[in-house]
A and B are shown apart, each in its own frame.
Chain A
Amino acid sequence: MDSEAYSTELSRQHKAFSPSRVWAIAGNTFTQLVRMKVFYFLLIFSALIIGANLLFLSFTFEQELKILKDVSFGAMSLFASIFAIVGTALLIPKDMEDRTLYTILTKPVPRFEYLLGKLMGILLLIGVSILLMSLLFFTVLYIRQHGILAEKIASLPRHASETDIESFRESIFSRGLQPELLLGVIAVFLKAAVAAGVALFVSTFASSTLFTIIVSLVVYFIGHAQSLALDYYFTQGELHSAGQRFLAGLVGVVFPNFQLFNVTDGLTAGEVIPASLMARLVGLTAFYLTIYSLVSWMVFAKKEL
């Protein structure tokens, strides 16, 4: 027997949970998605916001800036949610189909770590892409608000006073690049994170990518409409029968409430989100992710591979 082969092995003890293993899986997932050239979507994103900007140039600056923000946030949310659902659906069932999962789970990797790693990898991807998108978005917004100001100043009569210009700057910039927009960016991320949690759960019992995508999308859309159902549930009118109210309540219990994360609609219309609500949104996201990770694990732990 070769004693030196044993000595290195003796030094390694198995750990029940190891962040570095989770990180390895997360990093691998991220690399994989990056090498699938997903970041080319940024070209589409830039084309979209610049195109929208050009289309809407003819309106008042207030509308122009609002539409720029709406289109950017809309596209950001769309891409982030697509990445969350499709990315998750693409990778976990593929690992099972290709039996790559065998090679991972026969290393000393608990199944929970595998799920957590995948989730982290997807979250990393969503985070990085949202970061890049917001950088693009903010840059365009910055350029536009200065462009608009320059146009305004040029169109002012020559004797316009410094205070006139200042008030224009004030009213343009207050609708332009403002720190509150960051809250919108965070909300977009939180929503996509919950969507990723849903897709993770679905993919543990679904065996195909297509099924995961379809089910997750259905959950995603019902999750947006469910606040309507909740209104129904909490309206204690005689209008609704017990059966109807039960059904509405069931929808509320089963599906996540995605509408809560939709703060960008109000944000671009000039409303203010209090910090406490934002903090609770973060807490809610953490709760959703914990629950989805747990149930995913419960299903996945018993799964025959």
Chain B
Amino acid sequence: MLMASVLLASAGLLRLPFERDMELEFKEQGFRDWSPGLSTRDQLTQAAFVGALGGFRSLVASVYHLKAHNSFVKKEWGDVERYRAVTASLQPKFWSYWDMAVWDMAWNAYGHYRGEAEEYGNDFRGWHAESIIMPRYLEKGITFAKRGLEWLPEDYRLMKVIADIYDQKMGNPEKAAEWYLKASQKPQAPSHVYRAYAHQLTLCAGREEQAYRVTEDLYRNSGNVTLTLLRDMERLEEDMARRAAHDRSYDQLKDAAFAEASGYLEMAAFAMHLLEIRKDVPAAISVYTKVADNRRAPSFYRRKLAFLMAEDPQKAAEAYTILKDLAVSYPGALRREDMARLAELESRLGIPE
């Protein structure tokens, strides 16, 4: 018996460094060894805690996942939050549990209280839901995602979900752009994350120049011009042209437009001046024709030109040809509301549908 104890103890001493080594290597491999945080410990029942320690962590996590779902169905948001926290911290390397937690807070609970806020309007209850509870759930969502990022620092999805909250729920394009950019820099991130970053930039007041740089780069080099990108491009270029048209004199603009090295943007600024300051539509049309003929100019100039021409009965037929061509060759160049104007033009010209 004594001998056995001695053998057992010396074997223990022998294996201890070896096991420690393995544990460290597991950590290095990303199997960061898990120990229940204080908050998790408080939230687990005793049985679940023993189970979690006894090597049944993921099993316990699954059970809490189910509990969270049940609470979600019953709209008991406090419980949802608690169970989500347990599930995620038991299996912190599984992004989807964090994602669910964020989603339940910033979308589901938030949406529930928004309904309440609408229902109670200007009551205290409505006010409370709107200005106290709703922002709080958005913060909770962001906190969950950030905790998840401590475990999964390379996961673009958790970054993107933070950006989504800033974008869709908080209307904070600065923050949204910041997180979309972070997310887009992760190797796994698909290209639309970077596009989302570009889009948020266009919404940031005072960063127009940066936004234009990024957007134009995407427009010219990504090989995939989405509708959002096209509209952003249009908005940015129109704003630039309008600013120039208002800030600078006719001569300055004209000189710039016809300078040797000028591009279509200077021309567009001049055209804008003619259109909005001088209100000289025929002159604007002739300058816009030049812009539209520039091969680098996006399709929306052609659209603008066509609708300007459509107002002039003599040029209506030509405008119609341009619009038809746009509809066929440049998907996305025409907007939904353009269809009514096109139909109106058709009837004016007596063209059967």
Contact = CB atoms under 8 A, between A and B. Distances in A.
On whether the two chains bind one another, the answer is yes
Contacts, number: 137
Given A63-B100, A254-B9, A265-B91, A70 B33 contact: no
Given A269-B94, A291-B7, 8 more contacts: A59-B69, A74-B58, A220-B54, A230-B19, A253-B16, A261-B55, A265-B34, A265-B57
A291 B65 CA distance: 40
Nearest to A280: B22
B88 to A, nearest CB: 11
B31 A266 contact: yes
Contacts of A281: 22
Interface string A60-102: 1011001100110111011001000000000000000000000
Contacts of A5: none
Nearest to B12: A253
Given A269-B94, A284-B19, A291-B8, A224 B58 contact: no
B292 interface: no
B56 A299 contact: no
Contacts of B25: 277
A264 interface: yes
Q: A58, A205, A295: which has the most chain B beta carbons within 10 Å?
A: A295
Interface string A206-244: 000000000000001100110110110010000000000
A134 interface: no
B281 interface: no
A298 B19 contact: no
B11 A291 contact: yes
A38 interface: no
A73 B59 CA distance: 8
Given A62-B96, A280-B22, A269 B91 contact: yes
29 contacts: A56-B62, A59-B69, A70-B58, A70-B59, A71-B62, A74-B56, A74-B59, A77-B56, A78-B59, A221-B53, A224-B55, A227-B33, A227-B35, A252-B12, A262-B57, A265-B58, A265-B91, A266-B26, A266-B93, A269-B91, A270-B94, A272-B30, A273-B31, A277-B22, A277-B26, A277-B29, A287-B11, A287-B15, A295-B8
Interface of B: 1, 3-4, 7-9, 11-13, 15-16, 18-20, 22-23, 25-26, 29-31, 33-35, 50, 53-59, 61-62, 65-66, 69, 91, 93-94, 96-97, 100
Contacts of B96: 60, 62-63, 66
A255 to B, nearest CB: 8
Contacts of B7: 291, 294-295, 298
B62 A67 contact: yes
B3 A259 contact: no
Contacts of A288: 15
A252 B16 contact: yes
A78 B22 contact: no
Nearest to B29: A274
A164 interface: no
Nearest to A222: B53
A291 B16 CA distance: 14
B94 A284 contact: no
Nearest to B36: A228
A253 B9 contact: yes
Interface bin, chain A: 35 or more
A224 B91 contact: no
Contacts of A277: 22, 25-26, 29
Q: B23, B35, B53, B55: which has the most chain A beta carbons within 10 Å?
A: B55
Contacts of B30: 266, 271-272
A58 B70 CA distance: 12
B14 to A, nearest CB: 8
Nearest to A234: B20
A154 interface: no
B23 A230 contact: yes
B15 A271 contact: no
Nearest to A274: B29
Contacts of A262: 55, 57
A66 to B, nearest CB: 6
A259 B33 contact: yes
A118 interface: no
Nearest to A295: B4
B107 to A, nearest CB: 14
A74 B100 CA distance: 22
Contacts of A260: 19, 22-23, 26
A284 B56 CA distance: 21
Q: B35, B50, B53, B62: which has the most chain A beta carbons within 10 Å?
A: B62
A273 B55 contact: no
Contacts of A58: 69
